[in-house]
Amino acid sequence: MKYERYTDYVIRDGRLVGEFEEMYRDFSDPWHQTTRERFSSEKAAALNLLARLKQDYGIRRVVELGSGLGHFTARIAGLGLDVTGVDVSETAVAKARAAHPGVAFTTARFNQFDVLRQLAPDVIVMAEISWYVLDDLRAFVTYIRENLPDCFLLHLLMTYPPGTQKYGREFFTDLDGILRFFDMRVLESGEVRVQDGGRRTYFLGCWRPELEARWWTE
């Protein structure tokens, strides 16, 4: 084991390390994906939003970027949606396939945007990965706006108490900043307060004004 804490493989001393493959080899359950994350309220809200998109918009294809061990991807599949989990770590994808044999997973880097074109999702889900892909995040937003304009984005991200964040402050520090950065038509957003003063944030956005209008009239 290279480091004692799985977080040191990801961000250390306020800087991105990004050793995700090594982390998944050395730790069986980073971010408590199989335990505490099962009960996170913002993920329950996200599943509810996906269920509504299925009912009201007829969405079928979902891509989860940064799917990790695949547990949330499997919950999305449980809604009767055709979902593919995408992760940069081959070890994570292998573990996800073993744990959820009926769900599709593939290995790709976040900035391999052509994978999104091939999968042609109706919804892209990003759950707790934006801090790790900040260098490619503006290019990602531009790509989906120009190439997947009918696609919805469901974004979930932990933000931190004021004064404690060391990394990514030039991008955003709270939900309002996240919404300004993505600059989408927001159908719903919210946040769940956690004990240390941080927030578990989420938003569902789209690009098309007619899709936004339907959200309020369906």
> CA-to-CA distance for 105 and 193, rounded, in angstroms?
31
pLDDT digits (tens, 9 = 90+) for 50-65: 999 999 999 999 999 9
Q: What pLDDT score was predicted for residue 133?
A: 96
> CA-to-CA distance for 72 and 32, rounded, in angstroms?
12
Domain assignment present for 22: no
Domain assignment present for 198: yes
Question: Between the CA atoms of 155, 61, 56 and 175, what dihedral angle is there, to the nearest 10 degrees?
Answer: 0
Q: Is the dihedral of CA 133, 165, 202, 66 positive or negative?
A: positive
Q: What pLDDT score was predicted for residue 162?
A: 86
**Phi, psi dihedral angles at 152 (to 5 degrees):** -90, 155
Helix 134-147 vs helix 175-182: crossing angle, to nearest 10: 50
Domain assignment present for 102: yes
For residue 158, give the CATH number of its domain: 3.40.50.150
Domain assignment present for 23: no
Taking 90 as the threshold, does the pLDDT of residue 183 lie above it? Answer: yes
Domain assignment present for 98: yes
Domain assignment present for 89: yes
Taking 70 as the threshold, does the pLDDT of residue 218 lie above it? Answer: no
- Residue 205, H or E segment: strand 199-206
Average pLDDT, integer, range 30-37? 92
Q: How many domains does the chain have?
A: 1
Domain carrying residue 102: 33-217
Q: Where are the alpha helices (DSSP H) in the chain?
A: 20-26, 41-57, 71-77, 90-99, 114-119, 134-147, 175-182, 209-217
Domain assignment present for 106: yes
> CA-to-CA distance for 144 and 70, rounded, in angstroms?
23
Taking 80 as the threshold, does the pLDDT of residue 71 lie above it? Answer: yes
Domain assignment present for 110: yes
Quick one: tokens of 11?
């961000």
pLDDT confidence tier of residue 197, bands split at 50, 70 and 90 = confident
